[in-house]
Amino acid sequence: MSDQENFNKQTLSEHLTDLRSCLVISLLAVIVGFGAAYGVIHPIAEWFFAPLIKVLPETKSLIFISYQEGFFFI
pLDDT of residue 67 exceeding 70, the answer is: no
Asked whether 41 and 73 are in contact (CB, 8 A), the reply is: yes
The domain locations on the chain are 3-71
Q: Would you say the pTM of this structure is higher than 0.75?
A: no
Residue type, 58: E
Q: Residues of the chain with pLDDT > 90: what percent?
A: 28
Contact of 53 with 62, CB cutoff 8 Å: yes
**Residue-wise pLDDT tens digits, 4-25:** 666 678 888 888 999 999 999 9
Decide if 60 contacts 47 (C-beta within 8 A): no
Higher pLDDT, 6 or 43: 43
CA distances from 3 to 6, 13, 14, 22, 25 (A): 5, 17, 14, 17, 20
Average pLDDT, the chain: 83
56, pLDDT greater than 90: no
